[in-house]
């Protein structure tokens, strides 16, 4: 995978306020929890719906390893659905952003020093995943369908597998730890590419649980890892930061 597509994958998968192992069906359970029960416990584990809704902006700084190359990533997020990621690779800065309508990128590593828009299935997925709160917060209000697939084995533990279908019929699969109810895996098929994010190393940041280690898997192979160095909430961030520059 080239750097441009990998950066897009990292942006798509790392934007949530939101192990390795192959999932498989565990033995049938004596009682099946409802979707609302699972979602409610997940939101409580994250810090509670009220606390999550209090967050208006977020900034993350991380060290990133992509296909053996080291990089530094700075990510900005603002309600309702604005995002920007700056990845410094080999002294050059790759920028990928979403202004609420259009996803765009500047990638000097491939000779594109001017901004270009992202189109097709990748753009549709970025739009779907751009919600500041992630897929489970007030999902019914957004017209999202959440189905309980089952309790499964993942790595050394068990997870609740949820199938999430957006209002525009984009499908993702979310796996929550069956004990902590925190996200451990998010999977999606984008433009005939299977993308997976594995989340671990949860830490408390101002009353909210944030995964500090993210692993990006593309078509079954690890393509990138991200270790957060800092997370800050409710910093003043101008909306202009997310707009695509002219030219």
Nearest to 130 by CA among 168, 162, 159: 168
For the chain, give the percent of residues with pLDDT over 70.
86
What is the average pLDDT score of the chain?
A: 86
138-188 per-position pLDDT tens digit: 999 989 999 999 999 998 899 999 999 988 888 999 999 999 999 999 999
More confident call, 182 vs 21 = 182
192-246 per-position pLDDT tens digit: 889 999 999 999 999 999 999 999 999 999 989 999 999 999 999 999 999 999 8
The pTM for the full model equals 0.82
155: left (phi over 0), alpha (psi -120 to 50) or beta: left
Rounded Cα distance, 247 and 244, in Å = 9
For the chain, give the percent of residues with pLDDT over 90.
64
Q: What is the residue-wise DSSP string for 86-124? A: EEEETTEEEEEEE-SS-EEEEEGGGTEEEEEE--HHHHH
Model pLDDT, residue 89: 86
Rounded Cα distance, 214 and 85, in Å = 15
């Amino acid at each position: 995978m080239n750097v441009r597509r990998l950066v897009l994958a990292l942006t798509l998968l790392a934007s949530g306020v939101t192990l390795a192992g192959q999932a498989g069906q565990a033995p049938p359970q004596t009682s099946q929890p409802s979707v609302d029960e699972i979602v409610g416990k997940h939101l409580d584990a994250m810090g509670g719906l009220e606390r999550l809704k209090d967050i208006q902006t977020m900034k993350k700084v991380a060290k990133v390893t992509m296909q053996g190359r080291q990089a530094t990533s700075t990510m900005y997020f603002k309600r309702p659905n604005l995002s920007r990621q700056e990845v410094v690779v080999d002294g050059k800065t790759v920028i990928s952003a979403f202004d609420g309508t259009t996803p765009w990128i500047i990638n000097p590593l491939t000779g594109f020093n001017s901004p270009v828009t992202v189109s097709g299935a990748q753009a549709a997925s970025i739009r779907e995943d751009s919600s500041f709160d992630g897929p489970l917060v007030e999902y019914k209000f957004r017209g999202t369908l959440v189905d309980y697939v089952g309790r499964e084995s993942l790595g050394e533990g068990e997870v609740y597998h949820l199938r999430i279908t957006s209002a525009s019929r984009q499908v993702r699969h979310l796996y929550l730890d069956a004990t902590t109810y925190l996200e451990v895996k998010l999977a999606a098929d984008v433009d005939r590419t299977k993308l997976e994010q594995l989340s671990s190393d949860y830490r408390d940041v101002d009353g909210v649980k944030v995964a500090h280690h993210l692993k990006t898997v593309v078509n079954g192979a690890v393509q990138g890892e991200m270790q957060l160095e800092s997370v800050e909430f409710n910093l003043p961030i101008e909306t202009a930061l997310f707009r695509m520059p002219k030219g």
